[in-house]
A = this chain, B = another copy of it.
Amino acid sequence: MSNGAFLRKLGVFADLSDAEIALLDELTGDVRMTGAKRDIIREGDRPEQLHLIVSGWAARYKSLPGGARQITAFLIPGDFCDLHGKILGRMDHSIVALTPCKIAWIPSDRFDQLTSGHPELTRALWWGTLLDESILRSWVVNIGRRDAYERIAHLLCELHARMKMIGLVENDRLDLPLTQEELADATGLTAVHVNRTLQRLRADDLIQLSSRMLTVEDVNELRKVAGFDPSYLHIERRVR
């Protein structure tokens, strides 16, 4: 199934009926490839299509006048690119593919039909955007109040947990196709400092990271130094 990650993610929140699952499945019929380093969506766009990551990594980012860039989210399979763009009317940031990506294109009017007729499904999608918001809050805390060492540790914990949620972690080992520059733009650091900090994390036997594969050597210890509490990811099945 092409959008398995998506259904798996929504499934954490909602008990969707077979009919609703069929509807979602039908949405993701039009899947296209995007090359690495290509913008998927640009700031200012008024989305007529919704985009859902089926495979690969992407990032939301904003560019500043001086040339600096800040990444505000990493997108992995099952994540929507532009649900908020659809509802707010205009994208206030851009999204770039970090690796080659498979992306499902969903016609905007399909989405409108869906949300006007299926309140439970609407809530499930809403839930998804609120999870994004929750992650964003953790980023503010991370960048605002943690030093580089804790900060990178925390980001790695997040990505480890999220990848696990969609079934892409085995033995605490996962694909992490991010350059040090991209990690820097996400954590508000420089690539040089990210490099030195990763070396410390490796020297302290917390992680292994090379050729785009991350192994978390000691999950508990990494979470401890990061001050990572996974509850903000709302992974446990909600009582309803």
Contacts and interface: CB of A to CB of B under 8 A. Distances in A.
Given A119-B116, A126-B126, A126-B129, A231 B90 contact: yes
Nearest to A234: B88
Contact of A129 (B119, B133, B188, B240): B133
A137 interface: yes
A143 to B, nearest CB: 5
Interface stretch (A3-11, A51-59, A64-72, A192-200): A64-72
Contact of A119 (B65, B87, B119): B119
Interface string A131-147: 11110111111011110
A188 B144 CA distance: 4
Interface string A35-58: 000000000000000000000000
A21 interface: no
A92 B231 contact: yes
A84 interface: yes
A117 B119 CA distance: 8
B143 A188 contact: yes
Interface string A74-116: 0000000001100111101100000000000000000000011
A88 to B, nearest CB: 5
Interface residues of A, number: 50
Contacts of A83: 130
A28 interface: no
B234 A134 contact: no
Residue among A88, A119, A234, A240 having the largest count of chain B Cβ atoms under 10 Å: A88
Contacts of A136: 133, 136-137, 140
A73 B178 CA distance: 29
Residue among A72, A126, A238 having the largest count of chain B Cβ atoms under 10 Å: A126
A150 to B, nearest CB: 9
Given A64-B227, A133-B132, A227-B64, A141 B90 contact: no
Given A119-B119, A123-B115, A143-B143, A134 B88 contact: yes
Which 4 A-B pairs rank lowest in CB-CB distance, beginning with the nearest? A144-B188, A92-B232, A89-B238, A70-B141
